[in-house]
Amino acid sequence: MAAQNSPPTAKIEIYTWRYCGFCLRAKMLLESKGVEFIEYPIDGDNGARAAMAERAGGASSLPQIFINAQHIGGCQELLMLEQRGVLDQLLSEPGS
């Protein structure tokens, strides 16, 4: 019997600080969904924070989250997507 492949999932990236409560909450939600994500811990790295802010259209608060290279915002925006029932769909769209 052939093994089934896992369904494709979105490419999820999250910029964080180690002791940021909002970062921890966002990661917990993603982990509860069973999806893998790429974490960029930028604690104290002003250059990395500036690069993140440029990518995020000027947003410099943490976390900043991208799904399939689309900036979705921070923890509150992630939670709103979950409340509206659209997060699972975004997370299941194949990434590039």
Tens digits of residue pLDDT in 77-94: 999 999 999 999 999 998
Tens digits of residue pLDDT in 4-20: 455 668 999 999 999 99
Cα gap 40→94, rounded to integer Å: 21
Q: Give CATH superfamily name and number for 12-92.
A: Glutaredoxin (3.40.30.10)
Give the per-residue pLDDT at 8.
62
- Token pair, residue 18, equals 């180690």
Tens digits of residue pLDDT in 64-74: 999 999 999 99
If one counts every other C-beta atom within 10 angstroms of the C-beta of residue 81, the result is 20
Give the per-residue pLDDT at 82.
97
